[in-house]
Structure 1
């Protein structure tokens, strides 16, 4: 298979892409969540699609059309493909389990056929750079997904990207967690293999220009940064950028499988994604990017420049008060808490109206305390007080109403939607950043669903252990709290 644009097969349609409505599939993912605003900034109309419509609305403002679809459900695709000329296909199923490759190929075939029926002019697929003889299941799947798309009736521009340097990129976050939370590490010999990391801003430029271009020859384009460096060199150079001494030793006999099992001890990067990506470390990646450079020329950032840009952009990101992976507002004030966080969701359905539940919930903390098992809360507060935290800073500024910025004992009220939602920020000392959210949602047949959501962005090994050790106790505690809130609301 050529790494340059194909000279045979279907001819790309030269009708106007500039000014069209662009569809982004995978818009809540790492690249998609950055691509959507980048397209919008260039004046393009954007339709963002995901299976998680709530996540779409949390990330994007009302300038972006948000729609639900499931790529494995052909009937869900015609509405989202209506009046679309360019489709960005940024979807993968690595986190879905061992059958991710089959799911990806099936989804690609369904999308290709539906796009042809809808009159789509071009599909831009973001795949992964890989050697022709790769043994990595993840990389083979990325290549086969591109082949499945290209067998459809719509011209496909496939970009094969190397490691992308930016906040949220799994390889980047694995390095960041490692350097931030460990003094050093032992690495397998496989980390000597080299790739050409690409800055996120460079990748976004390629993608945006493909949407703006009135003519982009279909085919496969290999992307690459300006330097061919090993993963070990990436770790060392990241540590130099952030000013930390980090010791690395390579050990014969240490396998990538062993690394896979060790990484969850210090990193919150999704384990299933790590498992899929580690296979790519055992091979040198191609870096012949002449075809894309001729089509879309741009200056490429060095590895150090890309790292600095990623860290600066993250600091400037204001975020919002709805949780999604990497949201800076949910990591405020906690140095080095992980980009990827965990979420615990406990819900209870009741026939009571939301107004009654809200009236009880509004009295949380202070003299009311936390409705159930208050001795557990007291133990945690005293432990925090002993180590110099605000754990015994008890009380409410306004005892029966939520006011943004005020305290609920050692928590801080971050956001309130009356009778619908309240978000509390964790202010006690701990190995990470935490928030607690209460939601009240109406049920179709009457009544209310009362939900507690605990979000935790760990800081290294202790943050990981804190979450896993406390998850079961928190589950029990939250269930009892919801029952107690319902009981008190019933007695009003």
Structure 2
């Protein structure tokens, strides 16, 4: 069975990819925007096609001779995501039909259309309807609500609120009902959908027990060994709730607002097709899924995170953009007597729990300011302290390029009056650290000049600390 996996660098896609690679029944092909975003650990026999769903030629190449295609694509990070999702789904099913694909498996969201349905959920529902509209291609539409797993958006929000706030004044949406499900169970439904012999289109609603969001927070507190008090307040608006999440969780304001709007609607199962067609899958309880997620975090076994594929800035070649940078802060150190691998390991472990050396407090302050103005802040941290992948987040940076024992390039995702990059590079016997900034207007130039004194201390300390750590290895 030849299987195409889209969205393989996203939260669900990266985990599903690991499962499918181990499945000897299938021949796997990946469809990605940028081949560099694929882990170098994948087997050589896995075919990788570069392109996107807005380019029909690349879609034809990806879907050629495919039996089953997974559709795990969403454009939430774009302002025009609803329209983009529509075009993407239409292109995909059109080319799937042309290539005589037998089955499309789509993961969407639980919910029904009514006056309270959020724009985000409507987009997910519309995508499912478009994919299901083609009679020649069977669509299995798996619908999940709150997905609980290490690194998932829902889990990160609930965990951060529960850990940081002993007493929470909460909006009335905490009384909304949902049916959460463990990410491992979602993956089981997706993988077993390959073997369903049903020929008609199917909508399969999945989930564990029915809970209010208040219950989820209290059960999360119990799993973490904490006691928490929730005080619902009816007057907290969507915007205020979004700022609340933005400040106390790693989720930026834009994403928080979309999620909060969705919390007005119940996301509960509307059919019994999960039991009917997947009788061997018994979803684990909410509290067990929380315990499993916490265990993965504590053991540093987080496979993917919600922020892994936030935006497409890392899809592009940054050579020209960096060359056009107006302001550059460059530091060079002779490393003749230090193994290059040590320098590489040292700068690859920057950020996250290890922080940013002696001026960590300044980075923390910048992260707090960024959160206040609706940015991503520092709290995203990093998935693993030992490993980085192209496309994933590192505090308020995005990893855009990695060359082993040679280079790490980071793009700034903090709120800035311009564009910024931070590069660590090994060239001959020199270690070169460069900060690039392309200002936007007068404000951007003023921003750079104001920070020049701080940059002097921060960047000098950073380059010397990286070298010092490399010497100690």
> Could you tell me the TM-score, scaled by structure 2's length?
0.69
Output the aligned Cα RMSD.
4.1
Check if 1:105 corresponds to 2:43: no
1:163 aligned to 146, 156, 161, which one?
Answer: 146
Deviation digits for residues 88-111 of structure 1, max 9, x if unmatched? 1111111111x2111101100000
| Contact residue 210 and residue 216 of structure 1 kept, 8 A | no
Aligned twin of 1:233? 215
2:348 aligned to 423, 438, 447, which one?
Answer: 423
Aligned twin of 1:211? 194
User: Distance between the aligned counterparts of 2:322 and 2:145, measured in 1?
Assistant: 45
| Contact residue 70 and residue 77 of structure 1 kept, 8 A | yes
Check if 1:453 corresponds to 2:391: no
Aligned twin of 1:379? none
User: Distance between the aligned counterparts of 2:93 and 2:221, measured in 1?
Assistant: 43
Aligned twin of 2:184? 201
User: Distance between the aligned counterparts of 2:163 and 2:137, measured in 1?
Assistant: 45
1:91 aligned to 73, 90, 97, which one?
Answer: 73
- Change in CA separation of 1:319 and 1:168 when aligned onto 2, cut-off 3 Å: closer
Aligned residues: 377
Check if 1:283 corresponds to 2:265: yes
Matches within 5 A, 1:74-473: 74-97=56-79, 99-133=80-114, 134-152=116-134, 153-215=136-198, 217-225=200-208, 227-297=209-279, 298-316=281-299, 318=301, 325=305, 348-349=322-323, 363=335, 399-404=337-342, 413=343, 415=345, 423-426=348-351, 427=354, 428=357, 430=360, 452-453=409-410
| Contact residue 32 and residue 90 of structure 1 kept, 8 A | yes
- Change in CA separation of 1:257 and 1:296 when aligned onto 2, cut-off 3 Å: same
In structure 2, stretches of 5+ residues that fail to align are: 325-329, 365-378, 386-393, 415-446, 464-473
- Change in CA separation of 1:66 and 1:274 when aligned onto 2, cut-off 3 Å: farther
| Contact residue 414 and residue 425 of structure 1 kept, 8 A | no
Check if 1:66 corresponds to 2:43: no
Q: How many angstroms does 1:248 deviate by?
A: 1.9
User: Distance between the aligned counterparts of 1:166 and 1:246, measured in 2?
Assistant: 21
- Change in CA separation of 1:473 and 1:264 when aligned onto 2, cut-off 3 Å: farther
| Contact residue 31 and residue 48 of structure 2 kept, 8 A | yes
Q: How many angstroms does 1:204 deviate by?
A: 0.8
- Change in CA separation of 1:220 and 1:452 when aligned onto 2, cut-off 3 Å: closer
SS at match of 2:8: coil
Aligned twin of 2:470? none
User: Distance between the aligned counterparts of 1:102 and 1:474, measured in 2?
Assistant: 45
SS at match of 2:48: strand
Deviation digits for residues 166-221 of structure 1, max 9, x if unmatched? 12221111111222333332211121010111111111111100123344542222
Aligned twin of 2:12? 31
Deviation digits for residues 93-142 of structure 1, max 9, x if unmatched? 11111x21111011000000011111211011111111232421111111
SS at match of 1:88: strand
SS at match of 2:93: helix
In structure 1, stretches of 5+ residues that fail to align are: 1-19, 329-338, 351-356, 364-397, 405-412, 417-421, 442-448, 458-468, 485-492
